[in-house]
Structure 1
Amino acid sequence: MTPTSSDRAVSVVLAGGGTAGHVSPLLAIAGALVEKRPGARITVVGTEAGMETRLVPAAGFELRTIDRVPLPRRPSIDLLKLPVRFVRAVRQARRIIVAAGADVVVGVGGYVSAPAYLAALSARVPVVIHEANARPGIANRAGARIASRVAVAFEGTRLTGAVLVGMPMRRSIAELDRAGSRTEARAGLGLAPERTTLIVTGGSSGAASMNRALASAVPDLVAAGIQVLHLTGRGKHIAGADGTPLAVPGYQQLEFVDGMERVYAAADLLVARAGAATVSEISAVGLPAVLVPLPHGNGEQRLNAAGLVAAGGAVLVDDAAFTPAWIRGELLPLVSDAARLQAMSAASRARGVRDADRRMAELVLAVAEDHR
């Protein structure tokens, strides 16, 4: 007897990749879908150049790839080739969607999503979009016009028909008990268990301007009794006068840390860029922060931070203003003020959304059922 559409397992194609900002929420959504529907068939569409090539298979999901078709920033031969490349990527995505018997296509933005949206339209498969940034990217702005449902991580994100669901994230972060995990997290990172802790990160690739400013202010911070963990970025380090990595009691540097929940548990105050995931995660765990938006791009990081800053959960400082003098005059008094940090923590956690992955799964499954 041939199974009917209502008998077979729901099939979801998720499109996104390139950076952790796209891959992490995609995997959180995929995990929540399988949790709600254990028999769900999940197919992820990415490229061969992004972080998804490692992270998606490691999470246990099938990865299919299409050509990466970036939009050239200036007139060039690549711009002339764009239409042909884009059409080829759409055809590749359509073959994946049809082969998967997709009931719904879910996109999180980026290079992969635009071809997937058009492929879904041509295959008459409904589209669900999640936009992580307060200022949407071009793929999701276009895709929202054909989507059945549009979900966003931040209030005020301008996409037609958008509903606020928050940022899907790993449960190890969403359900983190900072106070209960602090001692273990600090021990694992080589930090003193009771000392006030400042952690500074510019992201996985680091931030040269932030690194330089912090290095100059390290003596003042450690002299005040603050221990500093500096995540410099892959392939980067801060050198002392002799050219070797800077070594000061109370200061240590690492290129990166696997499992940001350990960082969030260990820190009394975090200094970081204002990426959508970072802003959402520190809100979920209630971690006070100083946010330093990227000085380039389309200004989305400043918008990402705006709500949390207005609520009192974070302090915003421009990249150009994040100087050794600012660290000594503003950051040092802040990290030394336990009462203010406690108030910031409460304000941050009050804004946090800790079940966005499940909200997205419910939305996606509802669209899929309507289509079946």
Structure 2
Amino acid sequence: MTAAGAPRIVVAGGHSAGHIEPAMNLADALRRLEPTAEITALGTVRGLDTALIPGRGYPLELIPPAPLPRRLDRALLRMPATLAESVRAAGAVLDRTRAEVVVGFGGYVALPACLAARRRGLPIVVHEANASPGVANRLVARMTTHVFTAAPGVRLPHATPIGIPLRPAISGLDRAALRAAARRRFGLWPDGPVLLVTGGSQGAATINAAVSGASAALRGSGVQILHISGPRHRVEVPEGDSPHVVVPYVDEMRYAYAAADFALCRSGAMTCAELAAVGLPAAYVPLPLRGGEQRSNAEPLAAAGAALIVDDAELDPAWIETTLIPVLTDPGRIADMAARASAARAPAADVALARHVLAVVAERRALASAVEDRRRW
């Protein structure tokens, strides 16, 4: 970076893991490219921010959440005052950190952060992870030409598809090399198919219930189960010979991915991107909310032959027994789907986005220097 010192960057991707993880993965890539970079994360107390961000080693500044109501109710009437308060708080953080660029990932903090940046004439960079953009990013994308998306065809102005920033431990994972150690880690047998079950960071009651009900049939067919239930869910497991391992949460998902041959999971943008990156086929159960955005995330993988999609209302033990077990017990089909998943992976989006953010900072500094030179003359 130039003689002006370390680049000062604020990332705004709070509330959910789907917003926080890409923001933190970008921050890590920025630190690798520019070790002196001063990176501050914006978040709220309503989400996972205080649980996930400090552990990644970045300063966390909390501002009032500004969720955008999706229907006409009292929350919509309160929205102007709520947003104004959040914008003021975000602006105070930008001033205190002397931010040079704001990178928004959507969620409760992106809109106020970017509005505060716009008022100060700071450049804004936007990343949209979902195939169907959220309300915040649809608004913010109109404030800048620096707009990046996970996939082509996302309806945002000036959008450039680059994929989703992932951890190198995921994007560079060799599942075959880690397989034996990963299975030992979870108490799984070294041989035989393993179904990874996860409903995201908080778990999913529908998925948990369906798998618990089909546990005997799965294990009777020789399928082992690695079941990430979510910290708030209790899963009952019937007795059986092959393992059905239930854990509330997994900190290092690369081990879960390496142990598995197939996944049954929600289709959040991060989940879809990570499974494609590691070449793990899946049956996706889109969350039946938010205008169907999770279904949009999974549809390209299903179209490529790398995944199945089952509606939340249709997922039950009978579906697992009649539709999923025949896939899990067919090594040839699993191998074909894994190859198709790998073919759908995106390049290193974390590095691509980090380089662009640093270029934006350098451009801003060059412009400021040129203006200063004209003043001197």
Cα-to-partner distance string for 1:189-230 (whole Å, 9 max, x where unaligned): 110011211121122222222222222221111111111122
Give the secondary structure class of the aligned counterpart of 2:142: coil
After TM superposition, give the deviation of residue 234 of structure 1 in Å.
1.4
Residue 320 in structure 1 maps to residue 275 in structure 2: no
After TM superposition, give the deviation of residue 335 of structure 1 in Å.
0.5
Residue 346 in structure 1 maps to residue 343 in structure 2: no
Aligned-residue sequence identity (percent) comes to: 44
CA contact (8 A) 2:142 2:157 kept: yes
**Mapping of residues 124-203 of structure 1, within 5 Å:** 124-203=121-200
After TM superposition, give the deviation of residue 59 of structure 1 in Å.
1.4
Scaled by the length of structure 2, what TM-score is found?
Answer: 0.93
Query: Which among 84, 96, 101 is matched to residue 99 of structure 1?
Result: 96
Query: Which among 249, 252, 257 is matched to residue 241 of structure 2?
Result: 249
Query: Which among 57, 61, 74 is matched to residue 60 of structure 1?
Result: 57
Q: Distance in 1 between matches of 2:145 and 2:298?
A: 28
Tell me the residue number matched to 2:369: none
User: Structure 1: which 5+ residue stretches go unaligned?
Assistant: 240-244
CA contact (8 A) 2:131 2:151 kept: yes
Residue 297 in structure 1 maps to residue 290 in structure 2: yes
After TM superposition, give the deviation of residue 77 of structure 1 in Å.
4.6
Q: Distance in 2 between matches of 1:6 and 1:85?
A: 39
CA contact (8 A) 2:125 2:146 kept: yes
Residue 227 in structure 1 maps to residue 224 in structure 2: yes
CA contact (8 A) 1:199 1:230 kept: yes
Tell me the residue number matched to 1:358: 351
CA contact (8 A) 1:126 1:148 kept: no
Cα-to-partner distance string for 1:106-144 (whole Å, 9 max, x where unaligned): 000011010011100000000000001000011100000
Matched letter for residue 319 of structure 1: D
Larger displacement relative to structure 2 (353-362 or 210-219): 210-219
Matched letter for residue 262 of structure 1: Y
Q: Distance in 1 between matches of 2:141 and 2:151?
A: 16
Tell me the residue number matched to 2:67: 70
**Mapping of residues 207-222 of structure 1, within 5 Å:** 207-222=204-219
Residue 276 in structure 1 maps to residue 269 in structure 2: yes
Cα-to-partner distance string for 1:309-357 (whole Å, 9 max, x where unaligned): 1111111111222222221111111011111111111111111124110
Residue 237 in structure 1 maps to residue 234 in structure 2: yes
Q: Distance in 2 between matches of 1:58 and 1:76?
A: 37
User: Structure 2: which 5+ residue stretches go unaligned?
Assistant: 366-377
Larger displacement relative to structure 2 (200-209 or 355-364): 200-209
Cα-to-partner distance string for 1:54-94 (whole Å, 9 max, x where unaligned): 32222111111111122345555543332122112111111
CA contact (8 A) 1:174 1:281 kept: yes
Q: Distance in 2 between matches of 1:263 and 1:197?
A: 10
Scaled by the length of structure 1, what TM-score is found?
Answer: 0.94
CA contact (8 A) 1:166 1:356 kept: yes
Matched letter for residue 37 of structure 2: A
Instruction: Give the direction of change, closer, same or farther, for the CA distance of 1:249–1:149 in structure 2 (3 Å limit).
Output: same
Instruction: Give the direction of change, closer, same or farther, for the CA distance of 1:296–1:76 in structure 2 (3 Å limit).
Output: closer
Q: How many residues align?
A: 364
Root mean square deviation of aligned Cα = 1.6
Instruction: Give the direction of change, closer, same or farther, for the CA distance of 1:224–1:78 in structure 2 (3 Å limit).
Output: closer
Matched letter for residue 43 of structure 2: G
Q: Distance in 2 between matches of 1:111 and 1:42?
A: 19
